[in-house]
């Protein structure tokens, strides 16, 4: 049977309760303008995913995300410099990111953190940039969205040293149960992507099963990390539906209950109600 790697998965039946995709990259999904964004969000809405946070990984993406969040009320933004992009990070970049972070529809500082898998930026550059982003999160009083790849211990060490912002989200959580507990003890929120549906991700699935409900978010990280059974095919925000269904089964809870829970969590973490009223 052909795996049809170039085709998007089918749009699934709508969730019984609308949910939020807490981390996606609409520009990387191919969106360039307001019409493209609307088309992506309409497909998501058909699956019961009614809002998204589109996340930047470099300065150009941050500019685009902040602007795209003004094109459609279903879209919010997060801005930061990805840890693999921190080899050139000077005063001009810091000033522009600070200005973007103050925009009302920018609801988080992210994604920032550490990535020890790729070697595009030195450890020293990554650490310095991560510490600066922690400070920015505190300055603008918006959640910090963490990228953590093979850097669990150092992420926690730096957060402890700097003093974590009031809200911290581990995007695409990748740790085991012990690391999940260390994060939850600090009050951090764990966002689970399509990787949690992978049948060989035993330690991650155990962490997702046991994380307290009020610390759980769901995301796509689209166009990456498409959930099982469509792994390897292009991802979009509507596929958060598949991850939610798998998580509900894993956690042995009703799908509608889980969708309502992650929606309440997203609204609390990103203060989406405050944005809508501003």
The CATH number linked to 84 is: 3.20.20.140
Does the structure show a pLDDT above 60 at 2? no
pLDDT digits (tens, 9 = 90+) for 72-101: 999 999 999 999 999 889 999 999 999 999
139 assigned to some structural domain: yes
70 is in which domain, residue-wise?
Answer: 19-277
156 assigned to some structural domain: yes
Q: Is the dihedral of CA 245, 247, 253, 258 positive or negative?
A: negative
2 assigned to some structural domain: no
6 assigned to some structural domain: no
211 assigned to some structural domain: yes
Name the pTM for this structure.
Answer: 0.95
- Which residues make up each annotated binding site? 23, 25, 111, 147, 171, 221
Cα(117)–Cα(95) distance, integer angstroms: 28
217 assigned to some structural domain: yes
> How many domains is the chain built from?
1
246 assigned to some structural domain: yes
Q: What SS3 state is found at 50?
A: strand
Residue pointed to by tokens 């700097």: 162
Task: Let me know how long the chain is.
Answer: 278
Q: Two tokens at 255?
A: 């799908």
pLDDT digits (tens, 9 = 90+) for 160-185: 999 999 999 999 999 999 999 999 99
7 assigned to some structural domain: no
- Which residues make up each annotated binding site for a divalent metal cation? 23, 25, 111, 147, 171, 221
Q: Can you say how many angstroms the Cα of residue 58 is from the centroid of all Cα atoms in its chain? A: 15
pLDDT digits (tens, 9 = 90+) for 245-264: 999 999 999 999 999 999 99
**DSSP state, residue 120:** S
């Amino acid at each position: 049977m052909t795996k049809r790697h170039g085709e998007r998965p089918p749009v699934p039946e709508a969730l019984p309760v609308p949910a939020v995709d807490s981390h996606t990259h609409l520009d990387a999904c191919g969106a360039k303008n307001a019409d493209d964004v609307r088309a992506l969000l309409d497909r998501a809405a058909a699956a019961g995913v009614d809002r998204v946070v589109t996340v930047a990984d470099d300065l150009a993406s941050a500019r685009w995300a902040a602007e795209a969040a003004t094109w459609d009320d279903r879209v919010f933004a997060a801005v930061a410099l990805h840890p693999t992009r921190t080899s050139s990070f000077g005063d001009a970049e810091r000033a522009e990111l600070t200005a973007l972070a103050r925009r009302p529809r920018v609801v988080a500082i992210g994604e920032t953190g550490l990535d020890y898998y790729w070697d595009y930026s030195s450890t020293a550059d990554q650490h310095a940039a991560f510490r600066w982003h922690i400070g920015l999160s505190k300055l603008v009083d918006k959640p910090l969205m963490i990228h953590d790849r093979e850097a669990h211990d150092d992420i926690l060490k730096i957060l402890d040293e700097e003093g974590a912002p009031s809200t911290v989200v581990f995007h695409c959580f990748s740790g085991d149960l012990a690391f999940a507990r260390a994060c939850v003890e600090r009050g951090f929120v764990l966002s689970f992507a399509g990787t949690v549906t992978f049948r060989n991700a035993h330690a991650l699935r155990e962490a997702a099963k046991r994380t307290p409900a009020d610390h759980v978010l769901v995301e796509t990280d689209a166009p990456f990390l498409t959930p099982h059974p469509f792994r390897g095919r292009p991802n979009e925000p509507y596929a958060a539906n598949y991850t939610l269904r798998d998580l509900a089964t894993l956690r042995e809870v009703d799908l509608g209950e889980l969708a309502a829970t992650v929606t309440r969590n997203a609204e609390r973490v990103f203060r989406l109600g405050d944005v809508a009223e501003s």
